[in-house]
Amino acid sequence: MSESYHQTAIASLRDGNLFIKDAFIEGKWTAKDATFDVYEPSTSTVLGRVANCNREDIQKAVESAAKAQPTYFRNTTGKSRGALLRKWHDLIMASAEDIGTILSLENGKTFSEAKGEVVYAASFIAWFAEEATRSYGVTIPSSTPDTTLLTVREPVGVCGIITPWNFPAAMITRKVAPALAAGCSVVIKPPSETPYTCLALTKLAVEAGFTPELIQVCPTKDREAATELATNPLVKKISFTGSTGVGKMLARLASGTLKKVSLELGGNAPFIVFDDADLDLAVEGAMFCKFRCSGQTCVCANRIHVQRNAAEEFTSKLIEKVSALKMGPGLGLDDLSTQGPLVNKAAVKKVQEHVDDAVSKGAKVELGGSARQDSNGYFFQPTILSGVTKEMAVARDETFGPLAPIFKFDTEDDAVTLANDTEFGLAGYFFSRDVSRAMRVAHKLQVGMVGVNTGKISAAEAPFGGVKESGYGKEGSLYGLEEYQITKSITLGNLNAGL
């Protein structure tokens, strides 16, 4: 395959204007002489060149967003902000094919997964369109006579948004929708691997009627420049999704001006199969949560722990299902690919290192085990390892690829101890038919999200976020709006004075 792969796909867009290479600053599409290359992972060829913003561009964007925000909040209600969000949602849904195509091209995930992500991304906008109208304060019985005490929720102000490439649409909308619903403005630094989806979504937000200055987008490959969002005093909140290392660094910088911070960071999810589980259900759960986006999701099962006497049967059932997966370009002509490429060469290298390390310490390759050799793209075979132990790198580090390592355990206590033996705490899964065990283990897992007898835990209404070094803050759900608000208390005193 060659560049003609993506040229054909871009030419097939119903609205070619959604494929945008410029930054969006001060309400205007802004071309830059400086650009960076964006790659198409199925072919490892350049998909296009996008504006490379510098620190001054980001400063301009922040200043403009800071000017626009108070007027937006003053002149709108929760209901009218909700209506704008609903319009944005509808425009995205009407362009789901085009955005899915762009998303698949820059990320590599299959077209059907990419379209699924567009729908998932839009669901956050629909959710927060409703939540915008439910931003309640409280009245509090005061301890002082003649006094009424109440609270109101106000927008925090300008929000700096930094997101990763694995969900180019959903990670943007999960942050931007609640920010706009709350009455904030945003300055987005989209991932340099996948900026096009964010730029297309922004165009539709402006078409929906949002004041353009409320949503500024500064693509950049210059990480130093991007830290402006964490240090600029006009930015009042930073919402970051990405690796734990970068998240900690941004939190340190943000502490200089005491910004509000949300961090959605790396994971190392345990996936436990007890011997009383429905093994077919467990395999189905593992297929979804391990191989979605070719294993590149933060809530992916990273370690599969199976009770010893169920391990053989579970492994053979998993091998059968994984053997049926089909690697191929996201926009394969036959539309039969289930597994797109990984995002880049470094991602392929990391998976290979995890396989090699495990094998060198005694693990057995049951399936796959290497990168695809007959392609220039970043494909890695869906892989299953058995005989994996806690001494192996895959037990500690997030693989972020299509590698299912199977560990064995004996007792429930062992399973919980192994599962919690990590500094991360994003998601955890287990399968069991025993209701008491379901509650017991769900309470004992040190994670922010638990899936019991399911590998699917993500939804607009579900609180999303981790504990330990997977970060803090909740996205989506009834908690997602308050991440972009401050609670102000108002004390009305001496109500009877002068009577």
Ligand X SMILES: NC(=O)c1ccc[n+]([C@@H]2O[C@H](COP(=O)([O-])OP(=O)(O)OC[C@H]3O[C@@H](n4cnc5c(N)ncnc54)[C@H](O)[C@@H]3O)[C@@H](O)[C@H]2O)c1
Catalytically annotated residues: 264
Q: Which does 165 bind (CB under 5 to 8 A by kind): ligand SSN, ligand X, none?
A: ligand X
CB 429 within 8 A of CB 270: yes
Instruction: Say which residues have a Cβ less than 8 Å from residue 481's Cβ, sequence separation at least 6.
Output: 128, 131, 132, 134, 135, 153, 178, 181, 182
Partner whose binding site includes residue 426, from ligand X, ligand SSN, none (CB under 5 to 8 Å by kind): ligand X
Cα(483)–Cα(464) distance, rounded to whole angstroms? 12
End-to-end alpha carbon distance in the chain: 84
| Residue where the block lists tokens 């053997």 | 323
Binding mask 436-465 for ligand SSN (x = CB under 6 A): ----------------------x-------
Query: What's the closest the beta carbon of residue 171 comes to ligand SSN, in angstroms?
Result: 7
Q: Give whichever of 43 and 297 is closer to ligand SSN, judged by the CB atom.
A: 297
Q: Rule CB under 6 A: which of 170-229 touch ligand X?
A: 171, 189, 191-192, 223, 226-227
Does residue 426 bind ligand X (CB under 6 A)?
A: yes
- Of 107 and 383, CB closest to ligand SSN: 107
Q: Work out what residue 431 binds among ligand SSN, ligand X, none; the CB cut-off runs from 5 to 8 Å by kind.
A: none
Q: Tell me which amino acid residue 247 is.
A: G
Point out which span in 82-90, 108-116, 157-165, 383-391 binds ligand X (CB under 6 A): 157-165
* Residues 47, 229 contacting (CB under 8 angstroms): no
Q: Which stretch binds ligand X (CB under 6 A): 8-16, 139-147, 242-250, 353-361?
A: 242-250
113 binds ligand X (CB under 6 A): no
Q: Considering only residues 168-197, where is the footprint of ligand SSN by CB under 6 A? A: 170
Cα(177)–Cα(214) distance, rounded to whole angstroms? 12
Q: Is 220 an interacting residue with respect to ligand SSN (CB under 6 A)?
A: no
Residue 242 sits in the site that holds ligand X (CB under 6 A): yes
- Residue 243: phi and psi, rounded to 5, are -75, 155
Q: Name 233's Cβ contacts closer than 8 Å, sequence gap at least 6.
A: 257
Site for ligand SSN in 291-330 (CB under 6 A): 297-299
Q: Cβ neighbours of residue 450 under 8 Å, at least 6 residues apart?
A: 427, 428, 429, 430, 442, 457
Binding residues among 48-87 for ligand X as defined by CB under 6 A: none
Q: For the CB of residue 164, give the shortest distance to ligand SSN in the complex, in Å.
A: 7
Given 3-state DSSP classes, what are the helix, strand and coil percentages for the chain, each rounded to the nearest 5? 45, 20, 35
Binding site for ligand X (CB under 6 A): 162-166, 171, 189, 191-192, 223, 226-227, 241-243, 246, 264-267, 298, 398, 400, 426, 466
